[in-house]
Chains A and B, each alone.
Chain A
Amino acid sequence: MLAMQKLSHRLANPSNFMALSGRLLPLCCGLAALLLIAGLGLAFFGSPPDYQQGQTVKIMYVHVPAAWLALMIYALIALSSFTLLVFRHPLADVSAKAAAPIGATFTFLALATGSLWGKPMWGTFWVWDPRLTSVLILFFLYLGLMALRASIEDEALAAKLTAVLSLVGIAILPVIKFSVEWNSLHQPASVMRLGAPTIHPSLLWPLLVMALGFMALFAALYLKAMRNEILRRRLKSLRKVAATGAGAALSQQAAV
């Protein structure tokens, strides 16, 4: 706990964050590439086709990690928002802003792969089932977060208001988690459940490797997006300084 607090204090200085994330980023990229290649190899050559689903079971190796991330990223945004509103941590809004489009993308990926799987298995691309509907709402929530931020010019105000909206929307997470229990067509959780996973080890291993690969991929994208956002803010404040004429004075000083 204390170590976390220390790290959080150190990261409040963007320069420290840039240094740390600069070292972590290549690591995450490499790890993501390695795990995704290994996971896809395992999924296609190391795991058997399902006795009922045949080869379409392979879709699961993309669908399930994407769906996990869709929820995880929303939780991360809510946590960042909470940190912004309560502790005013300077990185919190950078984190929430960077994570939203990535989360929306993974949610879309989960919906799209799910419907590709649904066509051969359920006979339809889409059913109005509690699980599918609630994930679709999650997707709209992500869009709402981005739209609200985009519509407010004052960035500090946009950050706070988006944070409020993301905390209001957090009610959707338990709904998604438990939606499979309301006579849903979607199968219940088979890995993240109390007790042993109900999925066969030959299918579980490639899935876990893929899930780790997706998380590394998210970490890489997230860090890169946060770094870009920090650079954009620096650039903006530099431009402001230049525009007010202080820039001219500074460069004169430098010349002397």
Chain B
Amino acid sequence: MSAFWQLLGRDVLIAWKEGGSIGIALGFYLVVVVLLPLGLGPDLNLLARIAPGVLWIALLLSALLSLGRLFEADFEDGSLDVLATGALPLEAVAAAKALAHWLTTALPLIGLTPVLGLLLNLNPDAYGVLLATMLAGTPAVSFLGAVGAALTVATRRGGLLLGLLLLPLFVPTLIFGIEAIGAALTGADSFRASFLILTAISLAAVVLAPVAAAGALRFQLQ
């Protein structure tokens, strides 16, 4: 188990020291959200209505951006071969990397969200529930993303392919996240159901996705 934490710590440290990946994801998130009012016109009522959806979609795209690199560097320099022959099961390696992605990408993005909410005239009542749905839903993004990253680790042009593979898998998370926010704002009782399903998707992804990712990695390491 200590190997798991060491690997997690190493990946978080690399992401932190490199700086680039976190900064790029945050910058991308900011730019996408800023572009939308420019394209849609500065109607504050319209922006307030679509703000939760815009923020969720921009967050998914920003997270996608850094997912492509999840295994790539370690695959290229051979570290992944060393990890695969080590005592730690490859499933745990995949889980540690996905968790590191969540800590170093999803969490900073969620942290930036309230600031971007201001730009989009987000309803003040929506801040809490938006952040709650993002916290509950983004583990699915990082862990399902690890499967996509593992599948495309050996392909060139992997980045474009990754979007095609992963965005359909992110749809349930997006739908239930938005539904939970809508229900909470209108006071409907379906909030609880949507939020629980959102959490269930994340928990299922945390358990099952490392298995699929490890399977995909094994085929490519042989």
Which positions in A face B, CB cutoff 8 Å? Answer: 85, 133, 137, 140-141, 143-144, 147-148, 151-152, 157, 160-161, 164-165, 167-169, 175
| A169 CB contacts on chain B under 8 angstroms | 168-169
B219 touches A168 (CB 8 A): no
User: Taking the nearest CB of chain B, how far is it from the CB of A134, in angstroms?
Assistant: 8
User: Taking the nearest CB of chain B, how far is it from the CB of A163, in angstroms?
Assistant: 9
Interface of B is mostly: helix
CB < 8 Å neighbour of B168 from A85, A137, A152, A161 = A137
Contact A144-B155, Cβ < 8 Å, known A157-B219, A168-B147, A168-B212? no
Which positions in B face A, CB cutoff 8 Å? Answer: 144, 147, 151-152, 154-155, 157-158, 161, 164-165, 167-169, 171-172, 175, 209, 212, 215-216, 219-220
CA distance A244 to B144 in the complex (A): 43
| A160 CB contacts on chain B under 8 angstroms | 216, 219
CA distance A157 to B217 in the complex (A): 11
CA distance A255 to B176 in the complex (A): 70
A143 touches B219 (CB 8 A): no
CA distance A147 to B152 in the complex (A): 11
CB < 8 Å neighbour of A148 from B151, B167, B209, B215 = B151
User: Taking the nearest CB of chain B, how far is it from the CB of A227, in angstroms?
Assistant: 27
A164 touches B161 (CB 8 A): no
B172 touches A175 (CB 8 A): yes
CA distance A164 to B211 in the complex (A): 10
User: Taking the nearest CB of chain B, how far is it from the CB of A189, in angstroms?
Assistant: 21
Most chain-B CB neighbours within 10 Å: which of A137, A147, A161? A161
User: Taking the nearest CB of chain A, how far is it from the CB of B60, in angstroms?
Assistant: 14
CA distance A169 to B167 in the complex (A): 12
CB < 8 Å neighbour of B161 from A141, A147, A157 = A147
| A85 CB contacts on chain B under 8 angstroms | 215
Closest 10 CB pairs of A and B: A140-B168, A160-B219, A144-B165, A164-B216, A137-B168, A151-B155, A161-B151, A168-B212, A144-B164, A137-B171
B165 touches A164 (CB 8 A): no
User: Taking the nearest CB of chain B, how far is it from the CB of A209, in angstroms?
Assistant: 34
| A143 CB contacts on chain B under 8 angstroms | 164
CA distance A147 to B154 in the complex (A): 14
B172 touches A151 (CB 8 A): no
User: Taking the nearest CB of chain B, how far is it from the CB of A4, in angstroms?
Assistant: 26
Q: A137-B168, A151-B155, A168-B209 are in contact. List 5 more A-B contacts (CB 8 A).
A: A85-B215, A148-B152, A148-B165, A161-B216, A175-B172
User: Taking the nearest CB of chain B, how far is it from the CB of A145, in angstroms?
Assistant: 9
User: Taking the nearest CB of chain B, how far is it from the CB of A87, in angstroms?
Assistant: 15
CB < 8 Å neighbour of B154 from A140, A152, A164, A165 = A152
A168 touches B169 (CB 8 A): yes
User: Taking the nearest CB of chain A, how far is it from the CB of B194, in angstroms?
Assistant: 10
B168 touches A141 (CB 8 A): yes
B151 touches A157 (CB 8 A): no
Query: Can you pick out 6 interface pairs between chain A and chain B where the beta carbons lie within 8 Å of each other?
Result: A148-B165, A157-B220, A160-B216, A161-B219, A161-B220, A168-B169
User: Taking the nearest CB of chain A, how far is it from the CB of B40, in angstroms?
Assistant: 19
| A175 CB contacts on chain B under 8 angstroms | 172
CA distance A157 to B222 in the complex (A): 10
